[in-house]
């Protein structure tokens, strides 16, 4: 994987994000953290690292930092969505009967 014009740090960032796709797929299929956004974020951050043969430590660090900068807004959005979902009423909650009118 060495497309022409693609720096080593970008290659590392892409490899790191591809590893996250694997993590997310596993969580969706056999997830242990379905109800724990803190544990999920911790797991994402722990897995967001890739080492590619022949890439310098500096380029690896730059690529991992790029991957983190790309995923952080996604995690923040996800956390907000979870917060909203946890505070929202159930989708089929019946309104208070005293508020209903017959006509």
Per-domain boundaries in the chain: 8-85
Q: Which two tokens stand for residue 9?
A: 């740090």
**Residues 7, 9, 13, 18: is their CA dihedral positive or negative?**
positive
Q: Are 36 and 82 in contact (CB under 8 A)?
A: no
How does DSSP classify residue 32? Answer: S
Q: pLDDT tens digits, residue range 14-52?
A: 888 878 877 776 676 566 656 677 887 888 888 888 888
Predicted confidence at residue 34, as pLDDT, reads 64
pTM for this predicted structure: 0.63
How does DSSP classify residue 99? Answer: G
């Amino acid at each position: 994987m060495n497309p022409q014009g693609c720096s080593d740090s970008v290659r590392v960032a892409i490899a790191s994000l591809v590893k996250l796709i694997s993590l997310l797929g596993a969580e969706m299929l056999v997830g242990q953290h379905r109800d724990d956004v803190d544990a999920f974020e911790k797991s994402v951050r722990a897995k967001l690292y890739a080492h590619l043969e022949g890439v310098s430590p500096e380029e690896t660090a730059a690529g991992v930092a790029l991957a983190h900068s790309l995923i952080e807004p996604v995690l923040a959005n996800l956390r907000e969505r979870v917060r909203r979902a946890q505070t929202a009423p159930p989708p089929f909650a019946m309104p208070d009967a005293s508020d209903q009118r017959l006509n």
